[in-house]
Amino acid sequence: MTRTHTTPAAPASTSAPASTSTDQTVVRRPKPRWLLGLGPLVLIAVLLGLFSLLNGPGLSRLGQGVPPKEEVAVEDVRLTPGQIIITVRNEGPDPVAIAQVNVSDYYAAFTQTTETMAPLQTSTITVSYHWVDGDPYEIALVTSIGGKIPAAIDAAALSPERDGSFFGLMALLGVYVGVIPVALGMLWMPFVRRSSAAWVRGLLGVTVGLLAFLTFDATLEAFDLVAGTSAFGGPLVVILGALLSYLVLEATDAWMRRHQDLHTTGEPAALSPRRLALLIAVGIGLHNLGEGLAIGSAYAVGSLALGASLIIGFAIHNTTEGLAIVTPMARTRPSLARLAVLGLIAGAPAVLGALIGSTVYQPTLGAFLLGLGAGAVGQVAVKLLPMLKDPEGKTFTPLTAGGIVAGLAVMFGTGLLVVA
């Protein structure tokens, strides 16, 4: 008989835990970057809103005894039979109310679209006054606290009606001073193509001089438009416009070179003559936009007489812009279609500027557009400088320096013909 021995099971160890737990690591997703940037903006907006709703806690006595600051600019003066229509803008931090209108020591009856102008708000004041054609008038708008806002009419004349014939005249004016002169200047293309390399560098120097003059001229004119005003930043809008156009053209040029030439050469290519001509046309076009704006607004308020001599002066002054466009393409054969497009890019904005200036002109807008033109033309002038180098690598030689001086002199001399 066989006995089977079984080994008794070992007792469970008392040191082993009754149950086991698995460590779980919770992975937190990082917050989106845009949310981190938006958070402070929302907090700032909430705090500013509360500050405004509570009317500046603790600061209620800060402005006691301080008279309100009144800064009002006269933007437009129009004359209709028996009426003087004045558009004004409150450029100060406090509300302004016009209480009286004095026309050459006579207090005239008037109506206004806004009784009290909030900061940056406009009001159109219609004064009942039988003015005499050709007579000068001194106007003073008296505010509710006794301040006076002056305006002057050198020689009274009926303001043109803004109908179809008026807009047609403005478009024709833009063609005369913008499109046609630029097209005539581009007729120098055969002469430029037959010039030697040295003479081409001299003509490029002339182009640099032309563009440099346009840069300074547009900047000074823009500063003059906003002199003595702080609305919308005052003179800062000129600097903003110039920097904006300069940086946009630089970025556009870099993007075009990187995406159009990188796949063939492995690195961004140099600025081609055709692309440089396009940049020049764009810069001149922005300048002519501001110039057309000034011309249209001056005619709309009766301060510009459209005589044949003045049109001829503008044409001569702007003809040199066509030369600036075709000179970089001296060693290429552009098609007539390309030349026509470049001419329209440079000259046609004068038509648009004249139409805008004669209808919705505002000095700050004009200054901003002139600043855009100044920055664009200046950027192109900088791009032209490397093309002035001779075989020895010198940029400023007697020929190129003489060309720059000649360009400045030509623009200054022809500019004397268009002083309105």
DSSP per position, 141-210:
EEETTS-EEEEEESS--PPPP-SHHHHHHHHHHHIIIIIHHHHHHGGGHHHHHTS-HHHHHHHHHHHHHH
78 and 146 fall within a common domain: yes
Nearest to 257 by CA among 244, 241, 238, 276: 276
Q: What's the whole-number mean pLDDT along residues 97-121?
A: 92
2: pLDDT strictly greater than 70: no
Percent of the chain past pLDDT 70, that is, above it, reads 84
Instruction: Give the Cα separation of 357 and 304 in Å (integer).
Output: 13
Other CB atoms within 10 A of residue 242 CB: 25
How many C-beta neighbours within 10 Å does residue 48 have?
A: 10
Instruction: Summarize pLDDT for 263-311 with one digit per residue, the tens.
Output: 555 544 556 788 888 888 988 888 888 878 877 777 766 655 555 666 7
pLDDT at 153: 87
Q: Which two tokens stand for residue 82?
A: 């028996």
Binned at pLDDT 50, 70 and 90, residue 132 comes out as very high
Token pair 């009942």 is found at 128
Structure tokens at 178: 């913008």
Instruction: State yes or no: pLDDT of 5 exceeds 80.
Output: no
Q: Is the pLDDT of residue 82 over 90?
A: yes
231 and 137 within one domain:
no
pLDDT computed for residue 224 by the predictor:
87
* pLDDT beyond 60 at 372: yes
Looking at the whole model, is its pTM more than 0.95?
no
Mean pLDDT of the chain: 82
Position 108 confidence tier, pLDDT thresholds 50, 70, 90: very high
> What's the rounded mean pLDDT across residues 139-153?
91
Q: Which residue has the higher pLDDT, 70 or 190?
A: 190
- 97 with 130, same domain? yes
**Is 382 among the domain residues?**
yes
**Residue 198 shares a structural domain with residue 133:** no
> Do 238 and 222 meet the contact criterion of CB atoms below 8 Å apart?
yes
Single out the residue in 153, 185, 213 at which a domain terminates: 153
Say if 46 falls within a structural domain. no
pLDDT at residue 239 in the model: 93
- Verify that 295 and 343 share a domain, yes or no: yes
Sign of the alpha-carbon dihedral angle for 213, 214, 215, 217: positive
Among the listed residues 154, 144, 81, 71, the one whose alpha carbon sits nearest the alpha carbon of residue 112? 144
Mean per-residue pLDDT for 357-378?
82
- How many residues comprise the chain? 420
Q: Taking the CB of residue 152, how many other CB atoms lie within 10 A of it?
A: 11
User: Which pLDDT score is estimated for 305?
Assistant: 58
Could you tell me if residue 99 is inside a domain?
A: yes
Residue 137 confidence (pLDDT) above 90: yes
Query: Quick one: 99 and 174 in the same domain?
Result: no
Point out the domain boundary residue: 134, 153, 172.
Answer: 153
d(CA 133, CA 114): 29
The domain that holds 147 is classified in CATH as: 2.60.40.10
* Segment among 128-142, 176-190, 265-279, 363-377 with least mean pLDDT: 265-279
- Domain membership of residue 263 (yes or no) is yes
Over 50: is that where the pLDDT of 367 sits?
yes
Cα–Cα dist 210/394, whole Å: 21
Whether 269 and 319 share a structural domain: yes
pLDDT, position 1 = 46
In a domain, 59, yes or no: no
Residue 279 lies in a domain: yes
- Looking at the structure, do residues 176 and 277 belong to the same domain, yes or no? yes
Distance (Å) of CA 27 to CA 24, 57, 237: 10, 45, 50
Torsion of the alpha carbons at 328, 329, 335 and 340, rounded to the nearest 10: 20
The residues, ordered by sequence, that sit 6+ positions from 242 with a Cβ below 8 Å of its Cβ are 219, 371, 372, 374, 375, 378
93 & 191 share domain: no
Which of 153, 180, 197 delimits the end of a domain? 153
Residue 41 lies in a domain: no
pLDDT tier for residue 320 given thresholds of 50, 70 and 90: confident
Within a domain: residue 2?
Answer: no
| Residues of the chain above pLDDT 90, percent | 21
Mean pLDDT value across residues 210-238? 84
Using only C-alpha atoms, what is the Rg of the chain?
34
DSSP, collapsed to helix, strand or coil, labels residue 344 as: helix
Please compute the mean of the pLDDT values over residues 380-396 and round it to a whole number.
Answer: 86
Residues 187 and 267 in one domain: yes
**Under a CB-based contact definition with an 8 Å cutoff, are residues 279 and 253 in contact?**
yes
**Do 99 and 222 lie in a common domain?**
no
Count the domains in the chain: 2
- Model confidence pLDDT, tens digit, residues 11-58: 554 455 554 445 566 667 787 888 888 888 899 999 888 887 877 777
125, 231: one domain: no
| Mean pLDDT, rounded, for 172-177 | 88
Helix axes 197-225, 398-415, angle to 10 degrees: 40
Q: For residue 14, what is the DSSP state?
A: T
Return the residue matching tokens 């003015």. 131
Check residues 206 and 10 and name the one with the higher pLDDT. Answer: 206
Domain assignment of residue 107, given as a range: 72-153
pLDDT value of residue 323: 86
